[in-house]
């Protein structure tokens, strides 16, 4: 479950290559968090099942939850802030276990217990590709706005979404846009691993923000 890599382009964060729009794909290159799993009683003996630029994911053992160790304030805000976006298209938080150490990037490690999600497939993958393509088109349209073009692209997708999106997903896009306006974060829905799904096929914005 890699979550992100990085690039110098704030509107194309952490994904090197083309968006997953089905044409001219380059192989993405991932930069992974180099830190060891922090010592904590809840993590002892837990197998690591995923690692990204700023997070480590460990199996909780019940098939329903994972322990996610996050080192980015953006991830923490998105997953655990009181005013985070919630609903069927956002990850469910079961518990916030607080600070459990410090990462090599200088930020605190925080331990979250969240629902276990799956890689997108079927209709969820189709929706994810459609969103990524619309987002990238918006980024290109407002390229002259620099770092803020990603925010504007997301806002316009929420206001004028691609056709045939479920109403619940359009509402989620609007909630995500509002959240990003309130925090010092930028959107990232190009990376295919930032969109996941539940076992019932519901598309989930698993990790759609980053620190610029």
- Closest by CA to 198, choosing from 116, 127, 125, 93, is 116
Spell out the per-residue pLDDT of the chain, length 212, in tens. 333 333 333 333 333 233 333 333 343 456 889 999 999 999 999 999 999 889 999 999 999 999 999 999 999 999 999 999 999 999 999 999 999 999 999 999 999 999 999 999 999 999 999 998 898 988 888 777 777 888 889 998 999 888 888 999 999 999 999 999 999 899 988 776 789 999 999 999 999 999 88
Q: Where are the domains of the chain?
A: 1-212
pLDDT (0 to 100) of residue 120: 94
Three-state SS for the chain is: CCCCCCCCCCCCCCCCCCCCCCCCCCCCCCCCCCCCCCCCCCCCCCCEEEECCCEEEEECCCCCEEEEEECCHHHHHHHHCCCCCCCCCCCCEEEEEEEEEECCCCCEEEEEEEECCEECCHHHHHHHHHHHHHHHHHHHHCHHHHHHHHHHHHHHHHHCCCCCCCHHHHHHHHHHHHHHHHCCCEECCCCHHHEEECCCCCEEECCCEECC
For the whole model, what pTM was predicted?
0.83
pLDDT (0 to 100) of residue 108: 97
pLDDT (0 to 100) of residue 12: 33
pLDDT (0 to 100) of residue 10: 33
pLDDT (0 to 100) of residue 22: 33
pLDDT (0 to 100) of residue 30: 61
Cα gap 87→77, rounded to integer Å = 16
């Amino acid at each position: 479950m890699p979550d992100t890599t990085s690039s110098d382009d704030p509107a194309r964060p952490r994904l090197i290559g083309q968006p997953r729009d089905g044409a001219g794909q380059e192989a993405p290159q991932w930069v992974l968090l180099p830190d060891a799993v922090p010592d904590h009683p809840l993590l002892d003996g837990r197998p690591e099942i995923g690692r990204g630029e700023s997070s480590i994911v460990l199996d909780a053992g019940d098939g329903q939850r994972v322990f996610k160790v996050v080192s980015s304030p953006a991830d923490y805000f998105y997953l655990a802030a009181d005013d985070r976006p919630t609903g069927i298209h956002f990850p469910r938080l079961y518990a916030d276990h607080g600070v459990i150490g410090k990462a090599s990037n200088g930020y605190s490690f925080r331990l979250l217990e969240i629902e276990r999600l799956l890689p997108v497939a079927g209709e969820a993958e189709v929706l994810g590709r459609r969103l990524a393509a619309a987002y990238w088109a918006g980024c290109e349209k407002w390229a002259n706005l620099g770092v803020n073009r990603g925010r504007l692209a997301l806002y316009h997708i929420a206001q004028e979404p691609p056709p045939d999106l479920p109403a619940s997903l359009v509402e989620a896009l609007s909630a995500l846009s509002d959240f990003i306006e309130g925090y010092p974060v930028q959107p990232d829905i190009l990376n295919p691993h930032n969109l996941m799904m539940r076992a019932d096929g519901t598309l989930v914005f698993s990790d759609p923000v980053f620190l610029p």
